[in-house]
Chains A and B, each alone.
Chain A
Amino acid sequence: MPIQVLMPALSPTMEKGNLAKWLKKEGEPIKSGDVIAEIETDKATMEVEATDEGTLGKILIPEGTADVAVNTPIATILADGESAADLAKAASPAKQEKAAESAPPAQAKAEAPAPKAEEKVPAAPKAVSEPEAEVPAGTEMITQTIREALRDAMAEEMRRDPDVFLMGEEVAEYQGAYKVSQGLLQEFGARRVIDTPITEHGFAGIGVGAAMAGLKPIVEFMTFNFAMQAMDQLINSAAKTLYMSGGQMGCSIVFRGPNGAAARVAAQHSQDYSSWYSHIPGLKVVAPFSAADYKGLLKAAIRDPNPVIFLENEVLYGHSGEVPKLDDYIVPIGKARVARKGQHVTIISWSNGMTYSLKAADELAKEGIEAEVVDLRTLRPMDTETIVASIQKTGRAVTVEEGWQQSGVGAEVAARIMEHAFDYLDAPVTRVSGKDVPMPYAANLEKMALPSVAEVVEAAKAVCYR
């Protein structure tokens, strides 16, 4: 039986990639360990090694093909004694379970194998954005990944203001651990795009000190999990100095990087810090969902004279959305956005929580429940007005977050609704959240630990007494 070689995943969150090059021809013998192809994503280029022996039977995906989904058959390998005539059998779809045996990329062996499609964190819906209120009618839109939107935001602000610079681990020569800073070193040079040693506490403090001296640093944390090492500088130095100096000395600084659950990296690398930072007066906390918001809010954050915690989401980096093609697209900090209009129930979320929320709204619509989905975008200062206006219309609210419930952002939203819209409520506010456990590694447990579309649907129906 011919063996199918499937498109491998380079990382736990990769969904598709480009088949850059075939290094073997049809009919060539193949030994286990031979590099047979090169594949690339926007993050990296990797070699595909054969794990089976035989002859390269047929190339199913020609080189130069873009956006090949993970687990797509890309070639067949004929075992000894098999011939091209056997290839027809291999083309049948029954072979998909061989996915796990496809060669892992040579340089990515340490990474977890790609989760099967059904275990993945739900993909972001393709077209979620309503036209932004901030965008003039008729504005041309371009489709960009969130990764590109972030890069463009930084590049534009660095062109605009020579005091803006980027520092962090692997931001320069490696082009960003998640390829967010791709090309910035080439454009701005090593003076303004600075690789740091792996010393979060130290470089966070250096960033704050530079900001106190009037520069405008962008400090990238490879993930916010590692920012725990730097927490003292973020809170005691960055957030409090303006107040403690009687307004004399503040710091204009952005701390950014991926936050929240990644995929299959377990408890220490998969945590949502939204509520931690949103607790702190003196910080602004931004956690966007759409590509346009990522761009416009990062530009706003860089210009803001205060310290801004900019929470990104690794799972969303590769997702595309429409971004206004404007010379200077800014989304104001502190404004929520009604991402979907509805009159029966309000679903309030932010960042990747929006993925579950918008999908749930689609499901609910099929059952005649029109959910209004509010994307908070900024967690501090929180846009209570937009939340309350929606509750006044719907009388029901569900909050959705990947973080834990206790002292979470959902708890804060629920309290504000009680304080400001109690008389409008027709049902208690309900929270959908990450489960009250450290993030497990096993695929099934991890899925259970995160919120799901089904839980959001169920909660929305419950507050509608349906």
Chain B
Amino acid sequence: MAAPKKSVTKDSGQEKGDGSPPEFTKEQELKALRDMLLIRRFEEKAGQLYGMGAIGGFCHLYIGQEAVVVGMQMTLKKGDQVITGYRDHGHMLACGMDAKGVMAELTGRRGGYSKGKGGSMHMFSVAEHFYGGHGIVGAQVSLGTGLAFANRYRENDFVSLAYFGDGAANQGQVYESFNMAELWKLPVVYIIENNRYAMGTSVTRSSAQTDFSKRGISFNIPGRQVDGMDVRAVKAAGEEAVAWCRAGKGPYILEMQTYRYRGHSMSDPAKYRTREEVEKVRHDQDPIEQVRNRLLAADVSEQDLKSIDAEVRDIVNAAADFAQHDPEPDPSELYTDVYR
């Protein structure tokens, strides 16, 4: 993976050197580790349940990209909104949604966040300000801009985070939204999770401009490329972007350079990239290993880390157990929630 380029700023149009990211406190490192581990273990379990036939349909795993959502979440305050596409399990867990409810939705059970009616790609939590979970590539960008519109309309200082992938970044409505967001100075951070592949099509085969931080230039939206494998870099860039939005300066674009280890979905033939490529990123840049190594170097014991892993595994196992034993939705639910 190429080293991330530095920021493109609106003011100068030039790159701005910012060196290595600020260090985390031990507490921040431990929290980041725990939150990323929860996502990873959850996703591994989801993959396992999918293989067993307990989860149907599409299932897009977030493994490899955990630092993006965990780092960004560290920059938010309660009331800020999050919206994303269909690779959404990590975002939900990071937002504080209950692993049982997410897993039970994956298995289509009544205890799922959408009562089993939404599935992997369509989950929401009004309480945690998570607005989905959207299955149509790019749709969440306009919707997330609308969340920011509501903040501006209400004259509060909340910020909306709209996540989308390098594939969605080529959709037309993304640019329609960019235009209106800057025109109306809407507080939205556009987070492009560039995991290098739109399904099986690499960025270089699909994008004329592969530096996604520049995608807002013609709208005067500032953008930065960020090492999305380093949770500290994500948080640092995220803080700058969120502060920009909260101050009423309009939208901000963050290109998170990241990588997914698993296929696009569970039915991915993996013909478009080599095993070596995946292994190299995993070995050199894994976001969880980076934190673990720093903690070990800072005299946190292997035992302490193991206990975090055990805690996370317990949560995930309990979620998997619940999701397999919770009943399916009552047949009467077929006709509910069409209208209110």
Contacts and interface: CB of A to CB of B under 8 A. Distances in A.
B180 A249 contact: no
A215 B144 contact: no
Nearest to B130: A249
B147 A210 contact: yes
A113 interface: no
Contacts of B200: none
Interface string B73-108: 000000001010000000000000000000000000
Interface residues of A, number: 39
A247 B340 contact: yes
Interface stretch (A234-242, A293-301, A426-434): A234-242
B179 A197 contact: yes
A247 B180 contact: no
B299 to A, nearest CB: 45
Contact of A209 (B113, B126, B143, B337): B143
A213 B146 contact: yes
A64 B216 CA distance: 53
B337 A243 contact: yes
B124 interface: yes
A141 B134 CA distance: 47
B159 to A, nearest CB: 13
A213 B81 contact: yes
Interface string A182-205: 000000000100001101011111
A191 B173 CA distance: 23
Given A205-B173, A210-B146, A245 B139 contact: no
Interface string A356-375: 00000000000000000000
Contact of A242 (B146, B173, B180, B338): B338
Contact of A281 (B143, B144, B175, B338): B338
Contacts of A206: 142-143, 145-146, 149, 177, 180
B225 to A, nearest CB: 25
A220 B59 CA distance: 37
Contacts of B164: none
B248 to A, nearest CB: 14
Contacts of A213: 81, 131, 146-147, 150-151
Nearest to A194: B184
B135 interface: yes
Given A241-B132, A245-B114, A210 B142 contact: no
Contacts of A248: 113-114, 124-126
B131 A212 contact: yes
Contacts of B133: 244
Interface in A221-241: 232-233, 236-237, 241
Contact of B150 (A214, A250, A281, A284): A214
A197 B143 contact: no
A305 B340 CA distance: 6
Contacts of B136: 232, 236-237
Nearest to B127: A248
B122 A245 contact: yes
B331 interface: no
B142 A204 contact: yes
B118 A245 contact: yes
B148 to A, nearest CB: 8
Looking at B116, B122, B143, which has the most chain A CB atoms within 10 Å of its CB? B143
Contacts of B22: none
B340 A306 contact: yes
A288 interface: no
Contacts of A246: 112-118, 337
B340 to A, nearest CB: 5
Contacts of B139: 205, 232-233, 236-237
B114 to A, nearest CB: 4
A292 B269 CA distance: 60
A212 B147 contact: yes
A281 B132 CA distance: 20
Nearest to A236: B136
B26 to A, nearest CB: 37
Contacts of A178: none
A373 B339 CA distance: 29
B96 to A, nearest CB: 15
Contact of A282 (B118, B149, B176, B339): B339
Contacts of B337: 242-243, 245-247
Looking at B81, B112, B142, B337, which has the most chain A CB atoms within 10 Å of its CB? B142
A213 B147 CA distance: 6
B114 A244 contact: yes
Nearest to A284: B339
A2 interface: no
B183 interface: yes
Interface string B312-340: 00000000000000000000000011111
A205 B142 CA distance: 5
B172 interface: yes
13 contacts: A199-B176, A208-B146, A209-B150, A213-B81, A214-B150, A215-B149, A236-B139, A237-B143, A241-B132, A246-B117, A247-B337, A250-B340, A306-B339
Interface of A: 165, 191, 196-197, 199, 201-215, 232-233, 236-237, 241-250, 281-282, 284, 305-306
Given A205-B141, A233-B142, A245-B117, 15 more contacts: A197-B180, A202-B145, A203-B176, A205-B139, A212-B147, A213-B150, A215-B150, A215-B153, A232-B136, A237-B143, A243-B338, A245-B113, A245-B123, A245-B124, A282-B338
Closest CB pairs A-B (n = 5): A209-B146, A205-B142, A202-B176, A246-B115, A213-B150
